[in-house]
Amino acid sequence: MTFSELGLRAELLSAVEAQGYTTPTPIQQQAIPAVLNGGDLLASAQTGTGKTAGFTLPMLQRLAGGPRPGKRQVRALVLTPTRELAAQVGESVADYGRHLTLKSHVIFGGVGQQPQVDAIRPGLDVLVATPGRLLDLQQQKHVDLSRVEILVLDEADRMLDMGFIHDIKKVLRVLPEKRQNLLFSATFSNEIQALANKLLDDPKMIEVARRNTTAELVDQAIYRVDREKKRELLAHLISAHDWHQVLVFTRTKHGANRLAEQLSKQEIPAMAIHGNKSQSARTKALAAFKTGELQVLVATDIAARGLDIEELPHVVNFELPNVAEDYVHRIGRTGRAGSEGQAVSLVCVDEHGLLKGIERLIKRDLEKRIEPGFEPDPNAKPEPIENGRNRRGGGGRGGNGQKRGGGGQNRGQGQNRGAEQPAGARRRRRGGNGNGGGRQQA
Ligand code: AMP
């Protein structure tokens, strides 16, 4: 199967070729004709499957034929949970649309709104946005969503996890009745199902092989180690194996900061990336990591979601995630699009329940290793895991392995809502550095 067999126009085919892609991925093979047909779509696909091109290419093709947008109007709206994902989708739109004359822009919070307002004013073919900033601008009448032809909800499960459901509902209320809806989600909780039922009209359903069954290219291993020895073991593994470009996951923002500082002190250049960092700090850290200047990037789950770093060789779970499916998302950062990768998890006695949950989900036992000099104390007692991410309502994310020694923290409503800002807590800062938020389409 080739891209041209999918019915894409020449401008898009040459943009795809410029990216170096020769064969459409399974999600692209199914999604592209479905979106070109004009119907609604419900796709189960994770980052790493090629889903972005799967919706962007046919979306651009559909837009290419139509009338120009009026002032402040938007023809296709893509909602994403995080700024990073918004920026990446925006880049894909610009890359794939480089030979078309469509205009696109990306908006998200945490940066000045004026450049975004200016970019939207003449009207846009594609607007990629995080829900909060979009609503801000919509309420101030800087954007007119009444002519949206295509709505894409990307990583819808993560948007719900982050508390964006109310924002999404508000956005839906100002969209026109008749439009094409595309919903992408890595998981299908009851909440996602409910949203899909409300949103989609007779959708085509696509489910591509999940990464938790397809990540054979990722060499996965567990290092058993004591809680207090994790940092030392990590520094040792990085130096002993001469690892470059290591993405390390911690459970909390505080833990990410502390670990990045400690590694830097040991002359392993490291930076942390999470929702409390300014956008410019996040962008800077990511850019340095991508070029290989920065050896280690320490991230929380949500900050890392959607990071598109090609051929990332090493992912380390400094702590296992509280939700088993996040393990799959994390290791999905490596071994992408055919390249090999290595995912290593440092597991202490507190995390045995979480590990079991992960092994249940991926339906295999992970190889256990013990590094000489870092043998775990066989008599160590498990302690509760602090500051885990709260997920509301137990929305059906399987195999979370929550039972752990000492009972752990559990997840009452309104408790620590986790690693990133939920919708209600968004700061509505004004002003800012005005450094845009995406680029205008070439
Ligand atoms: P996504 O799932 O959209 O985040 O894409 C995952 C990665 O796969 C990105 O790095 C894309 O550049 C890459 N990619 C997308 N489509 C293809 C393709 N057909 N062939 C090879 N790589 C691709």
Poorest-confidence range of 141-145, 230-234, 357-361?
357-361
Question: Per the confidence metrics, is the pTM higher than 0.85?
Answer: no
| Gap between the Cα atoms of 180 and 55, Å rounded | 12
pLDDT at residue number 344: 94
What pLDDT score does 309 carry? 62
- Which residue's C-alpha comes closest to atom 20 of ligand 1? 21
CA 91 / ligand 1 centre spacing (Å): 13
pLDDT above 60: residue 240: yes
Residue 223 and residue 33: Cα distance in Å, rounded? 44
Distance 253 CA to ligand 1 centre (A): 28
Encode pLDDT of 272-305 as tens digits: 987 677 777 877 888 898 888 899 999 987 777 6
Residue (of 291, 237, 245) closest to 266 by Cα position: 237
Q: Tens digit of pLDDT for each residue in 382-401?
A: 998 865 433 333 333 333 33
CB atoms within 10 A of CB 142: 18
Cα-to-centroid distance, 140 and ligand 1 (Å): 36
pLDDT in tens, 252-274: 889 999 999 999 999 999 999 87
To test the pocket of ligand 1, the residue of 22, 23, 25 to mutate (highest count of ligand atoms within 8 Å of its CB) is 25
Residue 433: per-residue pLDDT: 33
Mean pLDDT, to the nearest integer, of 68-73?
97
User: Tokens 């990037």 — which residue?
Assistant: 297
Please, which pLDDT band fits residue 216 given cuts at 50, 70 and 90? low
Average pLDDT over residues 4-29: 93
Does the Cβ of 135 fall within 6 Å of ligand 1? no
Strand partners, 88: none
- At 420 the pLDDT is 36
Find out if CATH 3.40.50.300 is the number for domain 3-207. yes
Task: Give all strands (DSSP E) within 155-275, no chain letters.
Answer: 180-185, 204-207, 218-224, 246-249, 270-273
Six token digits for residue 337: 């699009």
Structure tokens at 328: 């799959």
Nearest CA to ligand 1 atom 5: 50
- What sign for the dihedral angle of Cα 190, 208, 303, 232? positive
> Which stretch of DSSP H or E encloses residue 152?
strand 150-153
Average model confidence (pLDDT) across the chain: 83
Give the pairing type, strands 296-299 and 341-347. unpaired
In the chain, CATH 3.40.50.300 covers 3-207, 218-408
Alpha carbon separation from 232 to 240, 260, 374 (Å, rounded):
12, 13, 9
pLDDT of 110 higher than 70 = yes
What's the CATH class of domain 218-408? alpha beta
What pLDDT does residue 336 have? 53
* CA-45 nearest atom, ligand 1: 2
Start-to-end Cα distance in the chain: 30
Distance CA 297, CA 274 (A): 10
Residue of the CA atom closest to atom 10 of ligand 1: 310
Which of 208, 308, 334 gets mutated to test ligand 1 (max ligand atoms within 8 A of its CB)?
308
How far apart CA 442 and CA 439 sit, in angstroms, is 8
Range in 135-144, 196-205, 382-391 with the lowest mean pLDDT: 382-391
Handedness of CA 259, 263, 264, 266 (dihedral sign): positive
What is the reported pLDDT for 137? 98
Q: Which atom of ligand 1 is nearest to the CA of 28?
A: 19
- 206 within 8 A of 46, measured Cβ to Cβ: no
